[in-house]
A and B are shown apart, each in its own frame.
Chain A
Amino acid sequence: MKEASLPIVQESSGPAGKNPVGPEMDPRRASWPVLAFFLVPALAIYFGLTAYPAFKTFIDSFFLIEGRETSFVGFAHYRELMHDGTFWVAVRNTMIWSFIAPILDVATGLLLALALYAGVPFARFFRVAWFTPVLLSYVVVGILWMWIYNYDWGVLNVALRAVGLEHLASSWLGDPNLALGSVMITHAWKWAGFNMVVCLAAIHSLPSEVLEASELDNCGWGAKLFHIIIPMLRPTLLNLYILAFIGKMKVFDLVWIMTAGGPLWATETVSTYVYKRAFNWNTFDLGYPSAIAAVWFGVVCAAVLILNRAFGTKERLEY
């Protein structure tokens, strides 16, 4: 179908592939006023609410802003940042979260999708139930899981005590060794449904001939999963991983609600630290938090580029 449409496009082009009458004469091209009518509002919103704030943040990072007084400090904030222990703890936590948690997210989503694809009983109910957390706000999810993790009456500890594993009952959000993992699991729980839906759609779009052929060859479930389904889902899974990665590099809401970065900075992320420096630090200075934000913006962009390069493949699946 796609190939059939190509000659139509080529008809309007000249022998060298160029339009002989110029783009302005192209009947499909709108006039400048019409273009402006549609583009200006979007561009104004983009520049006003995205580009300008980002640019201003970058500029602010070179200033000390105390109340109504502003003074230029050059790279002083960046130099200070290099020696800021809390910042590096936040970087470490965010990196752990960003690289490890997406594996959990995508794996859980894939497992749930496979369960639905395999036709578990009450599949319709489970599809809705597993997707529901995606619809909940972080505030609701945070409070819900704080109850689940409550030391005294949280369902997790109550269950552990009920089955005789009292020694495993812990202060899940109060122990620095457990807090980050506990919040990561909560985050994975919230987003598993989204990954499940995407994976399920991708599984359903796999060519049935390949799967049927594998069945004819007596290929088992495990072999089919690891040698056919997962390789063919690779682009989808990688895109989900990168999307989750970007989301986690900016994670704020859930951490702020559940632990506010504690205990002992064990769950401090770069975003929570920026917020603390901007609003909880007995100062109006936005220069230093702007420097953190500027650095982190660069890190996120670089990380995404590296991941795209690392995961990118020129091999195309033929089927």
Chain B
Amino acid sequence: MKKARLGFACAALAFALALSGQAAAQSTQITMWSNWPDEPAKRDWVSARVSEFEAANKQCTVKLNFIPKADLYTQAKSAVRTGQAPDIFYMEPDQPEFLAGGYLDPLDGIVDLANLEPWAKAAWTSRGKVFGLPVEAYTVEMYYNKDLVKQVGVTVPASNQMSQAEFTELVKKGVASGITPVAQGVGDRPFPGAFLLYESLLRKLGPEDYGKLLEGKISYSDKRIVDVMTWVKSLVDIGAYPKSISTLKLGESHFYFYQKPGALVFPIPSWFSGRAFAPPANGGMPADFPLGIMHFPKMDEGKCPDCKTLAVAGSYVLFSGSKNKPCAGALLKSMATVENGTKWMEQVSLQTGIRSDPAKIKSQRADYFAELTKRNQEAKTVFFGTPLFHYRGKCADAFSQVMNSAFPTGLVSVKEAADKMDAACFKG
């Protein structure tokens, strides 16, 4: 009897092992590379979607890695060439070479495209097909410290938009009070130093001519552009930016604004929330920080004072050389739902290209979200894409070196900057 029991137990164990082995053999592991290793809210959202997917699809497992964006791009560029790229990886629409090179598969028929915002879909549409799942979207905002602005004796207008003269006054008063007027750092990014200038150019030129400027059809020697550049240069000369702007990193510029030493305004896209809403102990914004959002200044004789830049950033793409497309596609499909869009808005407090249900958003940062939504509603016209979304190669490099770095640090004059940009970007 005892032997029989032992034999039965052994057989059961062998059967169970065989079953589990079979299950393991049938499960497919897909690889996914994501950005945002240092942005907890976004990381948590992605991890949660992957966990939910794995729970609902036992035949698929996901090896998820969070890698800093610059490293991820470099690795992806090498990996796609050799067919070793992950099945799904992070990408932004300003990296069109992956699409042009045939390394991305369209998501039509894989993801329910009706669950994507039309403007976000457009950012990833090529030859009539959609190639990216636009998770992260943003608007370019001007955050400010309500208390410090008040302290230097400036009142933000009810319209939440200053004139050129008012903004110049704010900068002057900040400098006089020993407070850095504009927090900004270009030490590790090719774009932040240009936010003030290019948002001002958008408001001065209007979306049509601004678009032409970014396409290289309008010269930087255009009088309207020179006027705006001259104004921004005057702010630079007054001392608008931190003395350490050239080496200050993006993360440090956040800390500079809401922790130490503090600044009046912080021009940055609305993905500000990714770092700001981390716990203060991890470099996040203090819970009682008097955060406000104002519009960028309206330009004298500006064509579009209520214009605003909207862009798609973090997205996920499907590698065309993937050997696990059914699982990879299923994961992307599971992410692209209205429910997940709503969760992104709730958890990250940032716009998304996935449709969401505003009525169901219960954000812990409801006040912030309400203010951001209000500023966005006040913007009547939206221009799609930041300069680096439009600039390529040599022109992008000139933008990074001149407009992002040298101009806001006062290293070049208006004419020098305009000449360098025209030499690299103007197509005549």
Contact = CB atoms under 8 A, between A and B. Distances in A.
Contacts of B402: 264
Contacts of B409: 171, 174, 263
A171 B401 contact: no
A68 B102 contact: yes
B405 A283 contact: no
A174 B185 CA distance: 11
A150 B187 CA distance: 11
B97 A176 contact: no
Given A174-B247, A175-B411, A262-B401, A283 B103 contact: no
A282 B396 contact: yes
B198 interface: no
Interface stretch (B73-81, B113-121, B166-174, B311-319): B73-81
Interface stretch (B42-50, B203-211, B238-246, B369-377): B238-246
Given A66-B101, A263-B409, A264-B406, A152 B244 contact: yes
A151 B411 contact: no
Given A174-B247, A282-B97, A283-B393, A265 B411 contact: no
A227 interface: no
Given A284-B81, A284-B97, A284-B101, A176 B397 contact: no
A264 B243 contact: no
Interface in A238-297: 261-265, 276, 279-284
A151 B102 contact: no
Contact of A174 (B245, B392, B412): B245
A280 B77 CA distance: 10
Nearest to B420: A264
B393 A264 contact: no
B100 interface: yes
A263 B401 contact: yes
B100 A67 contact: yes
Majority secondary structure, A binding face: loop
B96 interface: yes
Contacts of B102: 67-68
Interface in B158-210: none
A262 B405 contact: yes
Interface in A32-65: none
A174 B94 CA distance: 26
Contacts, number: 76
A183 interface: no
Interface string B79-115: 0010000000000001111001111000000000000
Given A67-B101, A262-B401, A263-B401, A282 B246 contact: no
Contacts of B96: 282
A180 B355 CA distance: 49
A264 to B, nearest CB: 5
B321 to A, nearest CB: 10
A276 B101 contact: no
Given A175-B411, A264-B406, A265-B401, A66 B243 contact: no
B244 A171 contact: yes
B394 to A, nearest CB: 8
A263 B393 contact: no
A194 interface: no
B246 A263 contact: yes
Contacts of B393: 281-283
B392 A282 contact: yes
Contacts of B394: 86
Contacts of B245: 174
B243 A151 contact: yes
Contacts of A264: 401-402, 405-406, 411-412
Given A86-B397, A276-B397, A263 B244 contact: no
Interface string B250-265: 0000000000000000
A67 B401 contact: no
A130 interface: no
Nearest to A265: B401
Contacts of A261: 401
A173 B97 contact: no
Contacts of A67: 97, 100-103
B178 to A, nearest CB: 13
A167 to B, nearest CB: 13
Contacts of B100: 66-67
Contacts of A199: none
A106 interface: no
Contacts of B247: 146, 149-151, 171, 173-174
Contacts of A150: 244, 247
Interface string B16-59: 00000000000000000000000000000000000000000000
Nearest to A153: B244
A262 B190 CA distance: 11
Contact of B411 (A149, A176, A280): A176
Contacts of A173: 246-247
Interface in A63-103: 66-68, 86
A151 B401 contact: no
Interface string B400-428: 11100110010110000000000000000
A152 B97 CA distance: 39
B80 to A, nearest CB: 8
Contacts of B101: 66-68, 284
B104 to A, nearest CB: 10
A150 B244 CA distance: 7
A81 B17 CA distance: 63
Contacts of A175: 246, 411
B124 to A, nearest CB: 16
Contacts of A276: 397
A96 B411 CA distance: 22
A149 B246 CA distance: 12
Given A262-B401, A263-B401, A279-B77, A151 B97 contact: no
Which of B77, B96, B392, B412: most chain A Cβ within 10 A? B77
Interface string A120-139: 00000000000000000000
A90 B272 CA distance: 35
B86 to A, nearest CB: 17
Given A174-B247, A282-B94, 13 more contacts: A66-B100, A173-B246, A175-B246, A176-B411, A262-B400, A264-B401, A264-B402, A264-B412, A281-B397, A282-B97, A282-B392, A283-B97, A284-B77
17 contacts: A66-B100, A67-B101, A67-B102, A67-B103, A152-B242, A171-B244, A174-B245, A174-B247, A175-B411, A263-B401, A264-B405, A265-B401, A276-B397, A283-B97, A283-B393, A284-B81, A284-B97
Q: Nearest 3 pairs between A and B by C-beta?
A: A67-B101, A174-B246, A151-B244
